[in-house]
Each structure stands twice: as C-alpha cells, then as structure tokens.
Homo-oligomer: A and B are copies of this chain.
Amino acid sequence: MLTDPPTKNTICFSSSPQILSCGSVVGPKEGRGPLVDYFDAACRDELMGETSWEKAERRILMSAVDYCLNKARLQQEEIQAFVAGDLLNQIVTCGYTARQYDAPFIGIYGACSTFTEGLFLSSLLVDGQYRDLVLCATSSHHNSAERQFRYPTEFGAQRPPTSQWTITGAGACVISNKENDKGRNDRRLIVENATVGRVVDYNMANPLDLGSAMAPAAVDVIGSHFRDTGRSIDDYDLIMTGDLGRIGRSISVDLAKEYGLYLDDERYVDAGILIYEHTQNVDSGGSGCGCSAAVFAGYIWHMLQSGEMDRVLIVATGALMSPLISKQGETIPGVAHAVSVCAVD
C-alpha cells in the first residue's frame, strides 16, 4: 500500500509571483472562533439577507473578493483572469460570481483542495507572463453543503465524532508579477513553488469521515514536496493542511512517520482545527473549500505580514467523492496540492 511519494511534481516559479492582497469573510459560527480578529468580516447570520443559502454563499464570496480588491486598491476591470471553484454542484457560487466580472473565468474543482489548486494555477498564469493580475477565490457554506452532500438540514441528523463541520466562509487573493504601488503591505508575499498532488485512495469509504480519506493524499504531496525541494519541516515556520480535522491530522502525523517524515506538533497545523474552538461542537473540526482559503487569507496573511512567520507551506486537501458514487459502493479518493509562500521585507 505504502508507495514512495512521486518526485518531479513540484513546479518552481522563477519570476516570483506575488500575492498582492487577500480578502476573507466568514459566517457567524466562524466569527465566534479563535481566528475572528484575522478575518475581514464575520457575518451575523447564515442567510446574509438572501432568500437561499446558495445565494448567501455567493454574497460571502463576492464580499471576500471586494475586500481583496479594495485592499490592493484595484478595480475589478483590472483583473485579467478569475480562477475559482467551490463545493456546490456545477460550482455555481463561482460561476455566478464570475458573471459580475469582465475577467475571463477559469472554473476549477478539487473539492476542499480547490484553494491551493487555484493559487497554483493563478501563480502559473502570472509566472509565465500570460497574465499580469489574477484573482483566485474559493468558498463554502455550511448549510448549502450540508444539504447537498449529507442530509436535509432540517432533518437534524446525528453527527458521528469523525464528521467535520463545513465552514461558512470564503477567501480571495490577487496574484501579480508586478509590484503594486497602490497597496500598502508591510512585506512582499511570494509564491515560491507548488507541488501538484496525485489522487490517492486508501480504501476509506465512510463519507462521514473525510479526514481519514484525505490524510494519505496530504502526506503524499508533502512527501513529494520534500523530495523535490530537499526541504523538511525545519524550512517552514508552519505547514498547514486543510481541512483534515483532528482525526485526519493525527493520521497524517502517523502516516508521515511511516514515510520517514517528521511533522511536529507545533509547526504542523490544520486549518480545520485552527478555525474553531474545541467547545464549538464541530466534532473532528472544520472543512470545506472556504476553510483553508479563509484561514490563509486571514490568519496566515497576517502572520506573514507581521513578521511572525517567514515561510509557510499550505496543503489544501480534498475528498473527491460524490454522494451518488458513495451510494454506488465506491471508496473515497483524496487529493492535495502544496503551495509554498514566503514573505520578504
């Protein structure tokens, strides 16, 4: 079962694409969590004044994009590509958000790994001089995801302790190959490289335990990243998977040991654990496309800007299942992509 992580899956960006700004907006439950001070906004209710949760999710995504563009003093007309995806069927949150913009739309799907897939593709567009300014965003909404992937929300199904709480939230970044003299960042955030993950299936089949299904993909891509770059966790102030939750993170640590990799307790964190307090009744932790996006765009951005961290590895993880395929008896494959971001003065 245990095969060596593949090599040569890391793409280095030679022209140092920069993250000019980030925007992050979360829902009310996330606004009662420990990271609230780092987000641009926390909404008061899950509906945001809309008539459906799907429309509310769109509003949250658009709000994160607005914060992101405003902070970089950019108009939406300046954006040259919009790379985005979400968890809803046919990625309608992003498709309908893209309708508001003139920028070409590149729709992506990698379940909860979508954020780093987008960050990677956006950096690629910029690094290769194909585009100057690319907007990258992902979102999730607890209620819209819950009813699509699991049970009708009114049903009140009991949740097993392995389950994760899809977060309500969105994160957005602007990537550019040019200095932005309009924004006012303390430090420059550079996307150094990206390790693109393969699909890994350890025969987990429980759709209420996705952390266990995704952990092998996270370790696989971290292993690839270390082999390709010659780095270890010592080269990072933080490695953040997202969103494995407590159970998935614990499996990752054990599995990493079997690969001969060391992920220590202090520097290896998971976005799904960071975003909620233990007491918030979220079982194994948070999940959803918006989780690693919002935590990166809020918390990690601040840590890098403030100088508390200099280099982080973001490893968003996704479970590539669908409810229909699970009912057809299939196991759940996972995928993860790792992106290294460093801050320079």
Does A259 touch B at the CB level, under 8 Å?
A: no
Q: Is the CB of B130 within 8 A of A90?
A: no
Band of interface residues on A: 35 or more
Nearest opposing residue in chain B for A320, CB measure: B95
Q: Is the CB of B197 within 8 A of A92?
A: no
Does A167 touch B at the CB level, under 8 Å?
A: no
**Which one, B52, B90, B107, B108, contacts A328 given CB within 8 A?**
B52
**B-facing mask of A1-40, CB < 8 A → 1, else 0?**
0000010110100000000000000000000000000000
Nearest opposing residue in chain B for A91, CB measure: B109
Residues of B within 8 A of A108 (CB): 106-109
Q: How far is the CA of A6 from the CA of B79 in the complex (A)?
A: 12
Contact residues of A between 299 and 342, Cβ < 8 Å to B: 320-325, 328, 330, 333, 335, 337
Residues of B within 8 A of A324 (CB): 54, 88-89, 92, 148
Nearest opposing residue in chain B for A327, CB measure: B52
Residues of B within 8 A of A124 (CB): 124-125, 128, 130
**Which one, B6, B88, B103, contacts A198 given CB within 8 A?**
B103
Q: Counting chain B CB atoms within 10 Å of each CB, which of A80, A196, A333 scores highest?
A: A196
Q: How far is the CA of A269 from the CA of B193 in the complex (A)?
A: 42
Contact residues of A between 96 and 118, Cβ < 8 Å to B: 96, 98-99, 101-111, 117
Residues of B within 8 A of A192 (CB): none
Assess A104 versus B9: contact at CB under 8 Å? Given A85-B109, A98-B199, A199-B98.
Answer: yes
Residues of B within 8 A of A148 (CB): 324
**B-facing mask of A222-262, CB < 8 A → 1, else 0?**
00000000000000000000000000000000000000000
Give the distance to chain B from A129, nearest Cβ to Cβ, in Å. 9
The list of the 4 closest CB pairs from A to B, nearest first, reads A104-B196, A95-B320, A128-B128, A90-B322
A–B pairs, 15, beta carbons within 8 Å: A11-B131, A54-B325, A55-B328, A89-B90, A89-B324, A90-B321, A90-B325, A92-B321, A98-B320, A99-B320, A99-B333, A104-B196, A106-B121, A106-B196, A128-B128
